[in-house]
Amino acid sequence: MLGFLASRQSGLDHPLRLRRAESTRRVLSLELNKDRDVERIHGSGVNSLDIEPVEGRYMLSGGSDGVIVLYDLANISRKPYYTCKAVCTVGKSHPDVHKFSVETVQWYPHDTGIFTSSSFDKTLKIWDTNTLQPADVFHFEGTVYSHHMSPVATKHCLIAVGTKSHKVQLCDLKSGSCSHILQGHRGEVLAVSWSPRHEYILATASADSRVKLWDVRRASSCLITLDQHNGEKSKASSETANTAHNGRVNGLCFTADGLHFLTTGTDDRMRLWNSSSGENTLVNYGKVCNESRKGLKFTISDGCSPDFVFVPFDSRIAVYTLYAGELITMLRGHYSDVDCCVFQSNFQELYSGSKDCNILAWVPAMRDPAPDEDSEKSGPQSHLNPAFQDAWSSSDEEG
Amino acid sequence: MDQKLSELVEQLTTSGEPELNLEKMKELKKICRTSDEHISHIYHLLMTQLNEDHAEVRFSAFQVVAELFTRSHQFRTLLISNFQEFLELTVETDYDQPLPPPKEVAQKLKKLAIKSVQEWHEKYGETYKKLSLGYHFLKQNKKVDFQDTSARTLAERKREEEKQRRLENIYKEKAKQAAEEMQEMSEEIQANLIEMENCFKLLMPDPFDFSVNGVESELGRTEDKAKAGSFQVEKEMGLEAPMPGTLDDEQPCCSKDLPPVTLNQKTGESGISGSSEYQEEDGKGLSERECEADDMNEDDSFIRKHGLGSHTYNLNLEISTDLKVCENEDNSAVVTNLLDICRLIKNKFCPSIQSWIQLFTKAGVNDDRLRHAIDLKRQLEMALKKHEALNIECQQRERKVMKDSDEEDDDDFVEVPEKEGFEPHIPDHLRKEYGLESLAPPQAAKTQGIVKPAGPNPPKRPKTNDEELDPTCAAATWKLIRDKLPKLPPINSSVPGSPEPDTSTESINKQKKREEDRAIAPVMPFGIDLYYWGQDQPTAGKILKFSSQHRFWTPNELEEEVENKEMEAMLKTRYITFPGKFEPVKHKCRAPMPDGSLCERQDRFKCPFHGKIIPRDELGTPTNPEDQAREAKQKFEKEAEEQDWRDPEFMREIESATGVDLGSSKITGKGKGGKKGKKKKYPNLTDLKQHTNTSRSRLQKKVFNKAAVKRVVSAMNRMDQKKHEKFANQFNYALN
């Protein structure tokens, strides 16, 4: 750290280098911190989390009982201990609350004044954050599994919606109507995601084990249908042709630079794809337990030198390096299946929502104070908290 | 050191006991405190033990964990880092991963674990975040009620509540019904109570209520008891004092002891006053007597003044302390009524009130209804008590009725002249009218001789006749027999000079025998043919031939009737089957069973388990000596046989315990014992496999045995194949 600082000071290093190194270190030291709590509002499982990209301060959470909660993550109290307060809630008593489980929540990428939520009650709602009233409601034929707005789009304002029907629908916020329908999938569409690099590129993952890349300017057909075997085996057996997974594909996430994206499937595999060529990069992540029948929200860190993937793994969160596929650690804290996790890149914090109603904050561990000689001598008594002390009874007889 | 640690952990966790061995625990702790490495080692050891599929192992392991958890920070961190799994293994958070058997220990483990988690949360929850998360998880998601010691799951609680609610509803409904019933019945009860109260009043006057007393004394069957200050002279009537005038020794009256001079007067007076309200008249009577006595004797004045007969006056008051009401003809109606009511109360009201009260208490009704029921019950009980206190001496009811009807026949019942045309017994003097010979048997004359002098109605029947005419009384039956029997002897005796009296006795004997035979002979159903037995039946055995049914054409000559001898013979033979009467078996096998009881089987001749049924004494040993010998022999043979299959393992165990060679090795050598030699690893733990050794499982083993299943399947397949052959629908072809 000091070395990085010195070289940064002297201008030997690129400024990014220090940042990357430090953020990597912080990500590696993520832990469940007792100083950080998220207020317990949800009475049932948490399906979806999203942190607004502007400040990285507010977080939305959608629960399986239809409740949407907005948290303030910033700690302005200047104390180590902080509980993320719920700023506002679309609770059960709210007139416009979703009737059924909220599957996806997302901030409007450019402003915190709007957020969107889609639910199993077959609606997609556009909310005005300040009045907490829905500005617009889109109705669909099937339950909505996932929706996404492009974070980089400047020329369009489309929300891609994956529903139970096999079509991907594009809703235009400007007109308030469904402008496109992308046909090609043969199963329900469990995950949709816009490319963070090209504003017209959309990736969709479906229960028919296919992942397709679309250019929304050309709605007639998709660009590529991803093939897990990169076209080698598909010649032999037509059935497995052009499938991305051997089960339902329920998770989809682009890297921050948009060059690659990850998919997860119920075949307990995670695959990294080249988003421009649609090739399977064949990174082996090992077995990633995944039994979710709905969409799975996982996340990829941003700004670390090897980037990391945080993916729900039963009741744990597995941390892999993105390109090597190496399992770094398992974050244990939830008592039930984890449904979603979201990475806050400014402070390298991770938030995860689970079926056990908890939202847990995974915060980088504080750097241990430099071991002094004095404290070394004083030994375990120097612990601040008596709970950390051992309590062996003093006499040997007692044990 | 690590070796020792794992040994200790294994010993501790496989002890199977509810408490840990303190010494071993001490030793364990001593090792643990030496370094953190040992702690992580023991943590892993304990986790593996917690993963064992045996609740007792888990329970003991959990106890060790709890001990260490409060002591070592390192252990806490380790455990909490894997708290999910720990909870799954101890609190059963994962539904698909239930706690292993035995069930009671698993339940105990769960309870203890929940309690410990709560304690830990209170103590360390702030510093160990995951611990508090786990606690909240249990509390909110698994809905564990930490106050509820029984540690029931949500579903269990719900089920319990539902059951409770259902029961409550049922009780409420029942209580409502009971209330209605009570409403209906309470009037009846009240009426009965009032009636009873009145009966009491009639039977037993209130000593302070004189107006009533007067009325009652006329009824005169009460016996008042002296209460507190006022003493009363007993009045005795009824059976004990049938005549009010003749006061006798039984009456504890002072007059008995009086000298003869005064006695006359006194007895006379008391006789006149009719012994009623003696105590009331006492003062008045005395003063009157004084006036009268004034002129009689001056000297006696002192005595008289004091109402004394003489100086040697002994007053003996016999105050009976127990109540006694005797029944006599005067009060019998009241007593009968009282007894009826009592019976009604005892048999009907009390049980129903009891059931109401039970229902109300069960239903949690705590209002007027319950109070009302309790009031009713108390009233009834008081009434019953009062009845008991009265100590009513009833006469034998039946006898009394009979006697009464006898005695009061003349007075109470209006004589009804015999109905014309129906004379069950023709009186002697009327026999002539009917054209019958007078029977005139001497005994009848005797009984009928007591004809009372004629009253207004001439056919005044004698007493005995009355009885005899009543078909329900024994006398009538006797008369019937008497009437019947003489019919036969007169025929014999009517022949005046019957020469052979011995033949008559013979015939009587014969007759007697016949009678006896007739009594023994079974009565069988018979056909109508027997009714005409012996009579010549014209059509019997004849076959009528109608040769032609044709309308116009008839054959010229044909015998229309054909006699068939065989048929005739057939009609004159008759078989009546008589299988005898079924007699249920009364005896039991009574052979001694291994558990000490006697065989209860009731076979007629042979018990399927113990052979021929022989007489046995109460211990089950045969009474006949030869049977005894046979049984002893059999027993000996059986024992010799048993020697062969004695359990070698059991014998070996005994040998190892006692050090005496019983020859198990011999048996093992030739038998199957060799492979059984494997010893149980942890003898103290409850054997989980043993639990499965139930009759069901044993049967299962037999029924689901591979070979058996195969056999059944092949048989069924064969049957299926046969279905397509001939006679497939007939079961006896299907199985062969």
Residue of higher predicted confidence among B268 and A191 = A191
CA-CA distance, A160 to A139, in Å (whole number)?
Answer: 13
Residue B550's pLDDT is what?
Answer: 75
Residue B220 clears pLDDT 70, i.e. is over it: no
Residue B256 clears pLDDT 60, i.e. is over it: no
Cα dihedral sign for A43, A46, A48, A53?
Answer: positive
Using 50, 70 and 90 to split pLDDT, how confident is the model at B713? very high
Residue B297's pLDDT is what?
Answer: 57
For tokens 């009062």, what's the residue?
B386
CATH topology of domain B1-152: 1.25.40
Length of chain A measured in residues: 399
Q: Is residue A377 part of a domain?
A: no
pLDDT above 90 coverage of chain B, percent: 1
> Of chain A residues 185-214, which have a CB less than 8 A from chain B?
none
Here the tokens at position B703 are 């029924």
User: CB-based contacts of B417: which residues, under 8 Å, 6+ apart?
Assistant: B457, B459
Q: Does B70 touch chain A (CB under 8 A)?
A: yes
The backbone torsions φ and ψ at residue A367, rounded to the nearest 5 degrees and listed phi first, read: -65, 130
Residue A303's region, left for phi above 0, alpha for psi from -120 to 50, else beta, is left
Residue A382's pLDDT is what?
Answer: 40
The DSSP code for B348 is I
Inter-chain CB proximity A390 and B73 less than 8 Å: yes
Q: Is residue A350 part of a domain?
A: yes
Quote the minimal CA–CA distance from B682 to chain A in Å.
27
Q: Is residue A24 part of a domain?
A: no
Q: Residue A355: give its domain's CATH number.
A: 2.130.10.10
The count of other CB atoms within 10 Å of the CB of residue B531 is: 8
Residue B286 clears pLDDT 50, i.e. is over it: no
Q: In a 3-state reduction of DSSP, which class is residue B442?
A: helix
Number of structural domains (chain A) is 1
Residue B539's pLDDT is what?
Answer: 63
Q: Is residue A332 part of a domain?
A: yes
Question: In chain A, which residues have their Cβ closer than 8 Å to the Cβ of B130?
Answer: 32, 332-333
- Which range (B273-277, B312-316, B389-393) has the least confidence? B273-277
CA-CA distance, A398 to A395, in Å (whole number)?
Answer: 6
Quote the minimal CA–CA distance from B76 to chain A in Å.
9
Residue B555 clears pLDDT 50, i.e. is over it: yes
Quote the minimal CA–CA distance from B369 to chain A in Å.
45
Tell me which residues of chain A have a pLDDT lower than 70.
Answer: 219, 233-241, 368-399
**How confident is the model over B667-692, as pLDDT tens digits?**
444 444 444 444 556 666 766 666 66
Inter-chain CB proximity B127 and A385 less than 8 Å: yes
Best of A38, A334, A390, A397 to disrupt the B interface by mutation (most B CBs within 10 Å)?
A390
Residue A43's pLDDT is what?
Answer: 85
Best of B68, B88, B130 to disrupt the A interface by mutation (most A CBs within 10 Å)?
B130
Whether B133 and B717 have beta carbons less than 8 Å apart is answered as: no
Of B27, B93, B127, the CB nearest to A388: B127
Inter-chain CB proximity B29 and A399 less than 8 Å: yes
Of B74, B124, B134, the CB nearest to A335: B134
For tokens 């005899």, what's the residue?
B468
Inter-chain CB proximity B84 and A387 less than 8 Å: no
- Which range (A359-373, B534-548, B600-614) has the least confidence? B534-548
Residue B547's pLDDT is what?
Answer: 63
**How confident is the model over B195-206, as pLDDT tens digits?**
888 888 877 766
Question: In chain B, which residues have their Cβ closer than 8 Å to the Cβ of A385?
Answer: 127
DSSP state letters, B503-524: HHHHHHHHHHHHHHHHHHSPP-
Quote the minimal CA–CA distance from A284 to chain B in Å.
27
Residue of higher predicted confidence among B429 and B136 = B136
Residue of higher predicted confidence among A88 and B320 = A88
> Of chain B residues 631-670, which have a CB less than 8 A from chain A?
none
Residue B710 clears pLDDT 90, i.e. is over it: yes
Residue B371 clears pLDDT 70, i.e. is over it: yes
CA-CA distance, B582 to A104, in Å (whole number)?
Answer: 86
Instruction: Identify the burial level of B121 via C-beta atoms within 10 angstroms of its C-beta, where 0-12 means exposed, 13-18 middle and 19 or more buried.
Output: buried
Residue B610's pLDDT is what?
Answer: 82
Residue of higher predicted confidence among A159 and B457 = A159
pTM exceeding 0.80: no
Q: In a 3-state reduction of DSSP, which class is residue B484?
A: helix
Inter-chain CB proximity A32 and B124 less than 8 Å: no
Residue B405 clears pLDDT 60, i.e. is over it: no
User: CB-based contacts of A388: which residues, under 8 Å, 6+ apart?
Assistant: A380, B73, B127
CA atoms within 13 A on the CB side of B341: 25
Residue B639's pLDDT is what?
Answer: 75
Mean pLDDT computed over B603-629: 82
**How confident is the model over B85-113, as pLDDT tens digits?**
888 888 877 777 778 877 888 888 888 88
Instruction: Identify the burial level of A295 via C-beta atoms within 10 angstroms of its C-beta, where 0-12 means exposed, 13-18 middle and 19 or more buried.
Output: buried
The parent domain of residue A102 ranges over 35-365
Q: Does B40 touch chain A (CB under 8 A)?
A: no
Inter-chain CB proximity A335 and B70 less than 8 Å: no
Residue B445's pLDDT is what?
Answer: 42
Here the tokens at position B276 are 């009623």
* Chain mean pLDDT for chain B: 69
Quote the minimal CA–CA distance from B639 to chain A in Å.
58
Q: Does B118 touch chain A (CB under 8 A)?
A: no
The DSSP code for A31 is E
Here the tokens at position B150 are 């029984």
Question: In chain A, which residues have their Cβ closer than 8 Å to the Cβ of B70?
Answer: 391
Residue B331's pLDDT is what?
Answer: 77
pLDDT above 70 coverage of chain B, percent: 54
